[in-house]
C-alpha cells in the first residue's frame, strides 16, 4: 500500500534497522546543538597572554645595555625600550636586583648610511643597529635565548623633516620587537 504513512513507516523502519530510534536521533541533534553553543559561548572566556614563558618566572632584571659603539645615548634608548617591552608584553615584574630571569644585551654595531638620492641630494637614510642578547633563567640555570646578531633598522626621509634620531627610534623599536618575540613569545 502506498499511503502517506507508508513512507514514514519506511524511514522509521530504516532507522530502527540501523539501531537508531527517532528519540535517540532527536537527542543526538539536541546534544550537538548544545555542544556547538557551549563552544561558542565559552570561546569568549579564553584569553591569550601572548607569552610562552615558564610559569616559575615571575621577575626580570633588564641590565643596562653595554655599548661598544660611539653612539653613547643609543644604549639607554634600547634599555628603556626593552624595559617598556617586557612591561607591556609579559607578566614579569621588573626588578633592579636579582630576578628570576635576566636580559643581558650588548650594542655591538651602529651604522648610518644614505639609502636613496635624488640627483646629488640624499633623500633618505638608513640606521642599522646590531646587538648581542642573552636571556637567562636564574631559577633553573638555563639560557632561554641567545643570539649574537639581533638586528634593528630604521629608515627616515630628510625631505619630510625627519632626522637621524627618527631613524634610531624606528631601529630601536624594530630591535625591541625582535628581542621580545624571541624571549617572551618565541622560544
Q: Are 176 and 82 in contact (CB under 8 A)?
A: yes
Q: What per-residue confidence (pLDDT) applies to 99? A: 93
Q: What residue has cell string 625582535? A: 178
Exposed/middle/buried for residue 182 (C-beta within 10 Å: 0-12, 13-18, 19+): middle
Q: What per-residue confidence (pLDDT) applies to 22? A: 56
Q: What per-residue confidence (pLDDT) applies to 142? A: 94
Question: What CATH homologous superfamily does 59-185 map to?
Answer: Lipoprotein like domain (3.30.160.150)
Q: How many CB atoms lie within 10 A of CB 131?
A: 25
For each successive 10 residues of the chain (187 residues), what is the average pLDDT? 50 50 56 53 44 86 97 96 94 93 98 95 97 96 95 96 97 97 78
Closest CA to 103 of 6, 15, 178: 178
DSSP for 73-130 reads: THHHHHHHHHHHHHHHH-SPEE-SS--SEEEEEEEEEEEEEEEEEETTEEEEEEEEEE
Q: Are 184 and 89 in contact (CB under 8 A)?
A: yes
pTM, rounded to two decimals: 0.71
Q: Please enumerate in sequence order all residues whose Cβ is within 8 A of that of 109, keeping only pairs 6 or more positions apart, or say none.
A: 69, 128, 129, 130
Q: What per-residue confidence (pLDDT) applies to 44? A: 42
**Distances from the Cα of 164 to the Cα of 2, 79, 105, 112, 171, angstroms:** 90, 19, 22, 8, 10
DSSP for 140-173 reads: TTEEEEEEEEEEEEEEEEGGGT--HHHHHHHHHH
Write the DSSP symbol of residue 12: H
Q: How many CB atoms lie within 10 A of CB 179?
A: 24
Q: What per-residue confidence (pLDDT) applies to 185? A: 79
Amino acid at each position: 500500500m502506498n499511503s502517506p504513512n507508508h513512507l514514514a513507516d519506511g524511514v522509521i523502519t530504516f532507522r530502527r534497522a540501523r539501531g537508531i530510534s527517532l528519540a535517540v536521533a532527536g537527542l543526538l541533534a539536541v546534544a550537538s546543538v548544545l555542544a556547538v553553543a557551549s563552544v561558542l559561548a565559552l570561546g569568549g572566556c579564553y584569553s591569550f597572554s601572548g607569552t610562552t614563558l615558564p610559569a616559575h618566572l615571575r621577575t626580570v632584571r633588564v641590565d643596562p645595555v653595554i655599548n661598544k659603539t660611539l653612539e653613547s645615548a643609543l644604549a639607554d634608548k634600547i634599555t628603556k625600550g626593552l624595559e617598556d617591552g617586557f612591561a607591556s608584553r609579559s607578566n614579569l615584574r621588573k626588578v633592579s636586583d636579582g630576578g628570576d630571569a635576566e636580559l643581558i644585551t650588548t650594542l655591538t654595531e651602529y651604522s648610518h648610511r644614505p639609502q636613496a638620492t635624488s640627483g646629488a641630494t640624499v633623500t633618505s637614510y638608513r640606521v642599522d643597529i646590531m646587538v648581542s642578547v642573552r636571556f637567562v633563567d636564574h631559577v633553573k640555570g638555563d639560557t632561554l635565548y641567545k643570539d649574537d646578531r639581533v638586528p634593528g633598522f630604521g629608515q627616515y626621509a630628510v625631505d619630510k623633516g625627519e632626522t637621524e634620531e627618527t631613524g634610531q627610534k624606528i631601529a630601536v623599536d624594530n630591535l625591541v620587537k625582535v628581542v621580545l618575540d624571541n624571549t617572551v613569545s618565541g622560544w
